[in-house]
Structure 1
Amino acid sequence: MSIFVVGVNHKTAPVSIREQLAFSPNRLAEALQSANSLVAENLILSTCNRTELYAASTGQQAAEALSDWLADFHRLPAKKLSPYLFTYHEEQAVKHALRVACGLDSLVLGEPQILGQLKTALQAAASASVTGNQLNRLMQHAFATAKKVRTQTRIGANPVSVAFAAVSLAKQIFTRLEEQTALLVGAGETIELVGRHLMAHHIDHIIIANRNEERAAHLAASYQGEGIPLTEIQEHLYRADIVISSTAAPLPIIGKGMVERSLKRRKHRPMFMVDIAVPRDIEPEVGALDDVYLYTVDDLQSVIDDNLQSRRQAAEQAEVMVDEEVHRFMAWLRAQSQMDAIRNYRRHNEALRDEVLNRALKMLNTKSPEEALNFLAHTLTNKLGHSPTRIMHQAAQSGDHELLEKARILFNLNDD
């Protein structure tokens, strides 16, 4: 059984490709079951910055088959996808998983949200009964490594995230957020984080729009704002100086026509818009409108770069920790491949024990307990030592010093 990962991320593919490969929550279970027909175990991690398939399989062509499946599931030509696709096997796949969990492969170096997303991905795969011993162990090892990195380095110091970057960019457009109204579309973790950053900068008013109006109202209450359903966005959009959107909707929520009408009502006062979602929530054509500053997750990189210097030194420490943990996991993985030999050895010894014990018990009918115990100890010792002694004797005769040295280690022998 080998472990591998195939996918795309913000380093290998633009948002226009990533959004076509995103798995919506309502199709994730279907996708997991479908992929499981090709591999023994699988897990799908789908976020705004990456779509990655982790798998374990005995098949030689499993990675290629899963790559073709990914294209087919999203109705994309395989040739269109292949330039953006990466594939890692065994140790490189393990290292990638650990780096992702630690935030070392994130757009925002060291961001913690990816760890929660990876845990959610594992829960979904477990619920669909498509994970097993290897992926479960890999993910738990990745989670433990991420915790170790976060507690033993300053990778989490000086908070930076996509949410932080979006608010920082808003401050560059609007010097005083105290006079602005923000419309936040969605109610997930990223939007919650955006709201907290905006409140820290004393935003004047926050409107939360979500498919679930009750959820929108609940989140808005924590910011002394108002909650509205998604269907009412067009009625409130003109009020927003800042629009930040992050939903799992399969199609854009805010179109060019809606924004044009809002600009007229605003008398063309500028609107700052950040589309964090993949697939995109805001039609790309909106960016061509005058008085609109539209950014996607890819555009936030320059803002994020300004906040990363303090994390880069911590990341160097984290990379060393990751390498150590990769070696530990690979040692466990190699041991799993030899477990059959270990189990057979134990079964063989247990069979010898049972055979000799039964003979000793029968002796109690005609012999004293002391004689039966002596027989048990003597016979069991001879039987357990017979094969190793014979092989060591042959090694000595043939001059196989390497085997003899390993035997000394295996049986904890010394020169005495």
Structure 2
Amino acid sequence: MPLIALGLNHLTAPVSLREQVAFDADAAGEALRELKAEPGVEEALILSTCNRTELYVGVAEGAEQAPQAWLNRHHRLTPGKLDEFLYRHDEDAAVRHMFRVATGLDSMVLGEPQILGQVKDAYQLARDAQALGAPLDRLLQHTFAVAKRVRTDTRIGAHTVSVAFTAVRLAEQVFTDLKQACVLLIGAGDTIELAARHLVDKRVSRLIVANRTLENAQDLASRYGGYAIALADLPQHLAEADIVISSTAARQPVVTRAMVEPAVAARKRRPMFMVDIAVPRDIDPEVAALEDVYLYGIDDLQQVIDNNRRSREASAREAETIIDLQVDRYMAWRRALTLRNPAVDLRQHAERYRDEVLLKAQAMLARGKSPDEALAFLANTLTNKLLHHPSARLREAALNGDLDLLHAAGRLYGESEPKDE
């Protein structure tokens, strides 16, 4: 069963296209079930983040084009629209790609840790949708172990600059002293919480958290000394914000030009710095045309991130070595699935001999033979039958000098291996 990794990311596609193929958490489960129902699709996992959308799919022979055809159809895209932006990895290349993604080697921020949590979420979603078979399930388990080892054995995660931290760093370039700034955070997920943590470290003057679910906003705001508002109340508070950082799972912009224009006018030429790190985008791109507004999207963060990448490149090379080894191990396990298991054959032969000899021993008892005589027959005959073929092969090996087989027999039966003459 071929394994395919198909997707696009921040390196291959602009955000305008990435947001068209993104899956939100509410729709991903149903999408998985739909993908799994495609002819030839045996198992599937969908990983969708702000920087990538990827399908990991096990397919039957001849169904290798099914994942891409489904992706186009599911998102109602013109056939061929994605062709120049998609990458595809098969078999061991697909395994290597997943390991690199989970360890942060394929991230915009080299070594960033948040992606592993997103892979784990995708795994749980696929399990809940009953979309995983044994090979893909085993691959995910192996992936988590590889990611843990890379984190333990290298410094790939040391001083990692997250997307949230990068947004805060950019804000500092516009407002040199964040202690005087009011920050509006839109959303209440992990990325926004990371941004809140960094902002509190910078001792921002005021923190406002807006979210569709007010209770979630209140929970986050209470932990970082902020003030919570409902998403519907954004227009009333936007003028207060010197800095806006947004990351929600909304399918449509939550901040529009019509919303920002009066806020900018009310600020009387005081600049407003906005960072949109959501895919699909939270802030209407037209907002960038307004005077005194500095709008950055997720792709604009790349330059800041690149400066931090160089310090971790040596650790990345160490991580690649670990990954190469683990790819070989997983693929060896996967190949073993297609091989006939000799242990099964051995047990079937032994059970057949047992049944034959047992019937003869029972017949002896029925004819009046003593139990001791029947048991002796059973033990001797069964031993001879079980050992006849192995003994003959070992005698041939000894005569022919086949040391490999003799050593293997020693390991198989738990005996000390024969010494070379």
TM-score, length basis structure 1: 0.92
- Residue 158 to residue 360, structure 1, CA distance change in 2 (3 Å): same
AA aligned to 1:232 is D
Instruction: Identify the residue that residue 40 of structure 1 maps to in structure 2.
Output: 42
Secondary structure at the aligned position of 2:308 is classed as coil
What per-residue deviation string (whole Å, max 9, x for no partner) do you get for residues 79-100 of structure 1?
1111111111111111111111
Instruction: Identify the residue that residue 265 of structure 2 maps to in structure 1.
Output: 264
Secondary structure at the aligned position of 1:81 is classed as coil
Instruction: Identify the residue that residue 366 of structure 1 maps to in structure 2.
Output: 369
User: Which of 56, 59, 62 is equivalent to 1:57?
Assistant: 59
Query: Structure 1 residue 294: deviation in Å?
Result: 1.0
Query: Structure 1 residue 287: deviation in Å?
Result: 1.4
Work out whether 1:112 is the aligned partner of 2:113: yes
1:13-412 maps to which residues of 2 (within 5 A)? 13-38=13-38, 39-62=41-64, 64-339=65-340, 342-360=343-361, 362-363=363-364, 366=369, 369=372, 372-373=375-376, 376-386=379-389, 389=392, 407-408=405-406, 410-412=408-410
AA aligned to 1:329 is Y
Stretches (4+) displaced over 6 A: 390-393
Maintained 8 Å contact 1:44/1:51: yes
Query: Structure 1 residue 361: deviation in Å?
Result: 5.3
Secondary structure at the aligned position of 1:41 is classed as strand
Maintained 8 Å contact 2:362/2:374: no
Maintained 8 Å contact 2:43/2:58: yes
CA RMSD of aligned residues (A): 2.4
Query: Structure 1 residue 241: deviation in Å?
Result: 0.7
Query: Structure 1 residue 357: deviation in Å?
Result: 4.0
Secondary structure at the aligned position of 1:82 is classed as coil
Instruction: Identify the residue that residue 413 of structure 2 maps to in structure 1.
Output: none
Instruction: Identify the residue that residue 414 of structure 2 maps to in structure 1.
Output: none
What per-residue deviation string (whole Å, max 9, x for no partner) do you get for residues 237-269 of structure 1?
111111111001000111112111111000121
AA aligned to 2:185 is L
Mapped to 2, the partners of 1:232 and 1:357 lie a distance apart of 82
AA aligned to 1:386 is H
Query: Structure 1 residue 373: deviation in Å?
Result: 3.5
Secondary structure at the aligned position of 1:299 is classed as helix
Maintained 8 Å contact 2:186/2:211: yes
Mapped to 1, the partners of 2:2 and 2:200 lie a distance apart of 48
Secondary structure at the aligned position of 1:78 is classed as coil
Instruction: Identify the residue that residue 12 of structure 1 maps to in structure 2.
Output: 12
Query: Structure 1 residue 186: deviation in Å?
Result: 0.4
AA aligned to 1:309 is R
Can you give the 5+ residue segments of structure 1 that lack an aligned partner in the other structure?
Answer: none
Mapped to 2, the partners of 1:3 and 1:377 lie a distance apart of 50
Query: Structure 1 residue 382: deviation in Å?
Result: 3.7
Count of aligned residue pairs for this structure pair: 410
Mapped to 1, the partners of 2:380 and 2:327 lie a distance apart of 44
Mapped to 2, the partners of 1:391 and 1:61 lie a distance apart of 46
Worse overlay, 271-280 or 338-347: 338-347
Maintained 8 Å contact 1:361/1:372: no
Mapped to 1, the partners of 2:337 and 2:272 lie a distance apart of 57
Worse overlay, 324-333 or 356-365: 356-365
What per-residue deviation string (whole Å, max 9, x for no partner) do you get for residues 269-303 of structure 1?
11111110000001111112221111111111111
Mapped to 2, the partners of 1:213 and 1:24 lie a distance apart of 20
Secondary structure at the aligned position of 2:81 is classed as helix
Mapped to 2, the partners of 1:200 and 1:392 lie a distance apart of 76
Secondary structure at the aligned position of 1:165 is classed as helix
Secondary structure at the aligned position of 2:225 is classed as coil
Instruction: Identify the residue that residue 3 of structure 1 maps to in structure 2.
Output: 3
Query: Structure 1 residue 221: deviation in Å?
Result: 1.1
Mapped to 1, the partners of 2:13 and 2:97 lie a distance apart of 17
AA aligned to 1:44 is I
Mapped to 2, the partners of 1:348 and 1:361 lie a distance apart of 20
- Residue 288 to residue 132, structure 1, CA distance change in 2 (3 Å): same
Mapped to 2, the partners of 1:97 and 1:342 lie a distance apart of 32
Mapped to 2, the partners of 1:373 and 1:317 lie a distance apart of 62
Query: Structure 1 residue 355: deviation in Å?
Result: 2.6
Mapped to 2, the partners of 1:49 and 1:339 lie a distance apart of 42
Secondary structure at the aligned position of 2:379 is classed as helix
AA aligned to 1:150 is R
Mapped to 1, the partners of 2:380 and 2:293 lie a distance apart of 88
AA aligned to 2:25 is P
Query: Structure 1 residue 349: deviation in Å?
Result: 2.8
TM-score, length basis structure 2: 0.91
- Residue 286 to residue 388, structure 1, CA distance change in 2 (3 Å): farther
Query: Structure 1 residue 354: deviation in Å?
Result: 3.2
Maintained 8 Å contact 2:246/2:276: yes
Secondary structure at the aligned position of 1:20 is classed as coil
Query: Structure 1 residue 360: deviation in Å?
Result: 4.1
Query: Structure 1 residue 348: deviation in Å?
Result: 2.7
